[in-house]
Structure 1
Amino acid sequence: MNSFRFPLLFFIYKAHLFLPYLSTTTNNILLNIHPDGSQRQLSSFRDHQTSKKTVASSATAKSTGKSTASSVIVVKPNGKAAVSSANPMEPNAATDLSSMHGDQVMFFREVSLGPREAELMFRVIHFWEARNPNTKTLIGQEMLLIDREGTVIQGFVPASRVGRYELAAGSVYKLINFFGSRSKDQYRVADHSATASFSWNSSLSVLENPPVQIPEDRFRFHTYEEFKSNCDSKGDLYDYVGHMKLVNGQTMTDHIVLDEADIAEKRHLCVHVQTHDGPVMKLYLWDKAASDFCQKFKSYGSIPSVLLVTTVNPKHLGGTLALTSMSSSRVFMDADVQPSKEYLEWLVSNSEIANRVAAEVVTKPESVTLEELYSYIKQKTSKVAWFECTATIDDVVQGSAWYYISCGGCNSKAVKGPTSLICNNKRCGKSEVTGVPQYLTKISVYDKSEQALFVILGDAGKDLTGKHAAELVANYFETNVGVGSDHCVPVPDALLEAIGKTCKFIVKVSDHNLTGKTQTITVTKILPAEAPLPSTPDGISKTGGDGSGPFGAFRDSAGDRARKATESLESDEAKRSKSG
């Protein structure tokens, strides 16, 4: 027994001297050599030095002929494991480990700042381009991602790597290696403080059959009060759902037609929206959001009611709260997604609540005099806008037709065809239409500052006379049986009786007014003139409207107010390209 003791102790001593050389050749990682020739990691000197707890990994270290790399799993203080590599120059180390341990996929809630050699599994909800607001240079590609826990995070691909990865909204991917960058403070689209940025060693692959279920989408809704409190803050962008009251000034009827050419030229449209019985807001949809709105609006067999828009920016425009779409915004209607379906169900069951606010009163155009109105038209920077004017009707222009025959489907002008009436609007698509008389009446009006020529169009005539144009035309032909259908119907008494009335006119300054093709201004709505406001003992209106009140010295002209509101609306359009 004693004869074997000395050789055994000598062998142990020799092995102890050899261990430091072995650890040097394996990047300071101790390995256990198994009989089958494989190397099993036991511990890491580096992790002992940094006081991080490590556990054994079943990954087999692979020899490259030059150096040996091995991956370890570092247990963080929260008990979660994160993959790291003993050799940071070997990007495949984390890949090998992740492929063998699917349970080590990192959740979005675990993503922190800095480079991460870890694996993420997620669904791409949406992606869009980020461009410099001034030069329009591509900055990168931004993404909205969701993992199996339903956590949403923002992703980013730098401009130099855009196009390297094939992305499809709705598909599930596996990302290995990324950089956790700090989320921007302005225009954030997710709650998480970090963004998963694709780095030089990132590997992205699509998962055709994901091993786990991942949600399709997630929304962050805000109420009117929350939007109001965050107005002009340039902070997080939240989602909105509600029902539509007006689209580009048109009420939600079966006759509504979207002028897509005009919308494309202006690059935006305006929708008046309301959530439940809350206040009505203006929602401006820009560029792709406007195009998507038109496409979805036309795709429905009937007029849709519910509108859901993601990542909208609350702003003060013209003194009121408005929402504007961003480059990250998506548009949904009625039955497109679950939240819009649920809101539609509420709308059907609570139609009396939804209709408490009449469509004609949701717009609040600037109140101006006729002089201020013409002053606005003369400004070179003016754009199409709506205003409110209080004026007295001086006369109704006679000697010309006071109505026109419209298409019964879209209200556009109908012309005589070979055998029937044809709609003059090519987008209407109807070759044979039923003609309906509509008001097209010119009136002369005046106020204390100026005279003007208005043209009463469509339903505005009924506001004045209380009767549809079709009724007045039919009454004339009933009492004049022998008159031909092409006879010019004289101005009816119902219109002439309006001479001398003072009314509140909602007028539209059109492109024709701005280009000087006509000075006749279109009336879209007529309201009864309100009683004058009570005055203070010194004869000054309580509103200071004559300019002598406490705020009168700072009161802009109507032209300036309208111009500033429009400029405010479009000033952020450039920023919208990088909004996220």
Structure 2
Amino acid sequence: MDLSGNSPASGDHQTSKKTVASSATAKSTGKSTASSATVVKPNGKAAVSSANPMEPNAATALSSMPGDQVMFFREVSLGPREAELMFRMIHFWEARNPNTKTLIGQEMLLIDREGTVIQGFVPASRVGRYELTAGSVYKLINFFGSRSKDQYRVADHSATVSFSWNYSLSVLENPPVQIPEDRFRFHTYEEFKSNCDSKGDLYDYVGHMKLVNGQTMTDHIVLDEDDIAEKRHVCVHVQTHDGPVMKLYLWDKAAADFCQKFKSYGNTPSVLLVTTVNPKHLGGTLALTSMSSSRVFMDADVQPTKDYLEWLNSNSDIANRIAAEVVTKPESVTLEELFSYIKQDSSKVAWFECMATIDDVVQGSAWYYISCGGCNSKAVKGHTSLICNNKKCVKTEVTGVPQYLTRISVYDKTEQAVFVILGDAGKELTGKHAAELVASYFEANDGVGADHCMPVPQALLDTVGQTRKFIVKVSDHNLTGKTQTITVTKILPPEAPLPSTVGVGSGSSGSSGDTAGDKARKAAEILEADEAKRPKSG
């Protein structure tokens, strides 16, 4: 059964579980204050009760009930109950059979005035009877305390509030007491590791992002939403404080929510909180995968992310101890092996590491381009101002920023190739930003116009003869034969030690007898293995 959990939650919790209530948590006032109630009718429309105690209807009974006479979640036990519960709806999601996709029911995560969290459940036959809204406060009459399933449980409480056949549900527009908005229960890396593949409870994760689909966390990172939608997932490398880095796979709705939130921030967000993740061994390492119940939060969304962001801003040295290139060690190949991989029909987009010597810098064309200062895409001249070529860019006023777009000829002992150096990789090669080189040139040549083609700067020419370690990406354009030019995503410093941790787009190093195709396929097949092992419910 696809009873995957959602939001974090917990009432009474064990000491090994790090449970954090949001800043909205408030204690009961203890006052007997009547409130207006809205009865949610089966047709989805609402009628506001007058709260007249003489009217014998459910809305009146609920609205006139003092807050301190409502049952708490900690008092819920197994069996049928003709009691009343007052709670906030944190989150709800569909539970479906993982094989047939048949709707089983509607799962919910509920929190009461004490901050205790419990799961709720509406059978498939009653789903849609009431229109539910996350964040609203409700009162429920008549329920059945059923035993919570150990597999994929999202709250610590042993019972689930199942809505009985004769249940009555009302929205409280003005609750008599304050109810917390949320509650999270977090696990550390060690706790996730000990629970890996156990098919037990689902817990929440909070930490900072190191990579998103192989991209380092720069100020101008742009998500390829079409590719994410096609593959139905996004892979984020995450780290909590100074702990180990691990992969977090967000699937389907969680991936779409991630993209939406990521874009909503003016600058690249740093902190990520995902609820109810499932720890699994994928590719021989610990990874977390989202479920249908998972929710996604970032920097300023909820109190735990705000608290973590504050820590991150004060401890950037700790957070940056593990460099992105160490997290994502690609397979090391020669240029000959790289071209051999590209020619194979079964090849897919992948990252590799090549050691090569720079033979020349291609001249005769612009070595840089003008980018949108918001998303790093190419900016073109409009009638009165620059226009970003990226239709998904939210910037209305584009500020042009020079970025590297430099082609270099390289060679090793096996083959020659043309690499294209983009963006930050150019600074890693020369030690200077493209904008700095462009500004210096035009300041020294005051009389040239804006359309003047600036010659290749000496900082680039000085790199000829250097042997460097390049991280390159084999793109769809390479695989379809549209171009043989290989894109460089990163250039490691001279004499840099080899990274040691397997990561995005890479596999374990093969034996010395592996062919180029075998070694490269191992790098590309890691993600396929992850997809095959992913639980169908997520």
Distance in 2 of aligned mates of 1:278 and 1:563: 27
Distance in 2 of aligned mates of 1:513 and 1:156: 50
- Secondary structure of the residue aligned to 1:141 is strand
The amino acid that maps onto 2:519 is A
Match of 2:113 in 1: 148
Residues 469-480 of structure 1 aligned to structure 2 (within 5 Å)? 469-476=434-441
Q: Tell me if structure 2 keeps the 8 A contact 1:383–1:566.
A: no
1:220-243 per-residue CA deviation (whole Å, 9 max, x = no partner) reads: 101122222223333322111223
Q: Tell me if structure 1 keeps the 8 A contact 2:347–2:521.
A: no
Match of 2:195 in 1: 230
Match of 1:443 in 2: 408
Match of 1:566 in 2: 527
Q: Tell me if structure 2 keeps the 8 A contact 1:231–1:316.
A: yes
1:159 to 124, 128, 151: 124
Distance in 2 of aligned mates of 1:220 and 1:422: 45
Residues 409-448 of structure 1 aligned to structure 2 (within 5 Å)? 409-430=374-395, 433-448=398-413
Distance in 2 of aligned mates of 1:167 and 1:287: 22
2:300 to 312, 315, 335: 335
The change in CA–CA distance for 1:170 and 1:480 in structure 2 (over 3 A counts) is closer
1:269 to 234, 238, 243: 234
Distance in 1 of aligned mates of 2:422 and 2:297: 33
Q: CA deviation at 1:138?
A: 2.5
TM-score by length of 1: 0.70
The change in CA–CA distance for 1:192 and 1:515 in structure 2 (over 3 A counts) is farther
Q: CA deviation at 1:529?
A: 5.3
Q: CA deviation at 1:525?
A: 0.5
The change in CA–CA distance for 1:347 and 1:493 in structure 2 (over 3 A counts) is closer
Match of 1:538 in 2: none
Match of 1:510 in 2: 475
The amino acid that maps onto 2:102 is T
Match of 1:295 in 2: 260
Q: Tell me if structure 1 keeps the 8 A contact 2:87–2:111.
A: yes
Q: CA deviation at 1:458?
A: 1.1
1:453 counterpart = 2:453 = no
Please say which of residues 406-415 and 447-456 is displaced more in the overlay: 447-456
Distance in 2 of aligned mates of 1:376 and 1:417: 41
1:312 counterpart = 2:277 = yes
Distance in 1 of aligned mates of 2:199 and 2:112: 27
The number of aligned residues is: 472
- Secondary structure of the residue aligned to 2:197 is coil
Distance in 1 of aligned mates of 2:97 and 2:202: 19
Q: Tell me if structure 2 keeps the 8 A contact 1:367–1:387.
A: yes
- Secondary structure of the residue aligned to 1:567 is helix
Q: Tell me if structure 1 keeps the 8 A contact 2:471–2:489.
A: yes
Distance in 2 of aligned mates of 1:151 and 1:556: 55
- Secondary structure of the residue aligned to 2:377 is coil
Q: Tell me if structure 2 keeps the 8 A contact 1:547–1:555.
A: no
Match of 1:206 in 2: 171
The change in CA–CA distance for 1:479 and 1:121 in structure 2 (over 3 A counts) is closer
The change in CA–CA distance for 1:142 and 1:356 in structure 2 (over 3 A counts) is same
1:108 counterpart = 2:73 = yes
2:157 to 189, 192, 195: 192
1:390 to 332, 355, 372: 355
Q: CA deviation at 1:111?
A: 3.9
The amino acid that maps onto 2:529 is S
Q: Tell me if structure 1 keeps the 8 A contact 2:349–2:476.
A: yes
The change in CA–CA distance for 1:233 and 1:521 in structure 2 (over 3 A counts) is farther
Match of 1:38 in 2: none
Residues 172-187 of structure 1 aligned to structure 2 (within 5 Å)? 172-187=137-152
1:54-91 per-residue CA deviation (whole Å, 9 max, x = no partner) reads: xxxxxxxxxxxxxxxxxxxxxxxxxxxxxxxxxxxxxx
1:404 counterpart = 2:369 = yes
The change in CA–CA distance for 1:380 and 1:175 in structure 2 (over 3 A counts) is farther
The change in CA–CA distance for 1:254 and 1:209 in structure 2 (over 3 A counts) is same
Q: CA deviation at 1:143?
A: 0.8
Distance in 2 of aligned mates of 1:460 and 1:245: 17
1:132 counterpart = 2:93 = no
Q: CA deviation at 1:481?
A: 6.2
Residues 353-368 of structure 1 aligned to structure 2 (within 5 Å)? 353-359=318-324, 361-368=326-333
Alpha-carbon RMSD: 3.8
The change in CA–CA distance for 1:450 and 1:224 in structure 2 (over 3 A counts) is farther
The amino acid that maps onto 1:565 is I
The change in CA–CA distance for 1:146 and 1:493 in structure 2 (over 3 A counts) is same
TM-score by length of 2: 0.75
Q: CA deviation at 1:459?
A: 1.5
Residues 550-565 of structure 1 aligned to structure 2 (within 5 Å)? 557-565=518-526
Q: Tell me if structure 2 keeps the 8 A contact 1:228–1:314.
A: yes
Q: Tell me if structure 2 keeps the 8 A contact 1:284–1:323.
A: yes
Q: Tell me if structure 1 keeps the 8 A contact 2:338–2:516.
A: no
Distance in 1 of aligned mates of 2:516 and 2:156: 41
Match of 1:71 in 2: none
**Structure 1 stretches lacking a partner, 5+ long:** 1-91, 534-542
Distance in 2 of aligned mates of 1:118 and 1:271: 44
The change in CA–CA distance for 1:379 and 1:544 in structure 2 (over 3 A counts) is closer
Q: CA deviation at 1:408?
A: 3.3
Q: Tell me if structure 1 keeps the 8 A contact 2:373–2:399.
A: yes
The change in CA–CA distance for 1:562 and 1:117 in structure 2 (over 3 A counts) is farther
The amino acid that maps onto 1:296 is K
Q: CA deviation at 1:252?
A: 4.3
Q: Tell me if structure 2 keeps the 8 A contact 1:122–1:172.
A: yes
Overall identity of the aligned pairs, in %: 86
Distance in 1 of aligned mates of 2:341 and 2:278: 28
- Secondary structure of the residue aligned to 1:220 is strand
Q: CA deviation at 1:166?
A: 2.3
Match of 2:466 in 1: 501
Q: Tell me if structure 1 keeps the 8 A contact 2:211–2:238.
A: yes
Distance in 1 of aligned mates of 2:99 and 2:341: 29
- Secondary structure of the residue aligned to 2:353 is strand
Q: Tell me if structure 2 keeps the 8 A contact 1:414–1:423.
A: yes
Please say which of residues 168-177 and 323-332 is displaced more in the overlay: 168-177
The change in CA–CA distance for 1:390 and 1:202 in structure 2 (over 3 A counts) is farther
Q: CA deviation at 1:450?
A: 4.8
Distance in 2 of aligned mates of 1:313 and 1:483: 60
Match of 2:490 in 1: 525
Residues 84-103 of structure 1 aligned to structure 2 (within 5 Å)? none
The change in CA–CA distance for 1:136 and 1:452 in structure 2 (over 3 A counts) is farther
Q: Tell me if structure 1 keeps the 8 A contact 2:340–2:516.
A: no
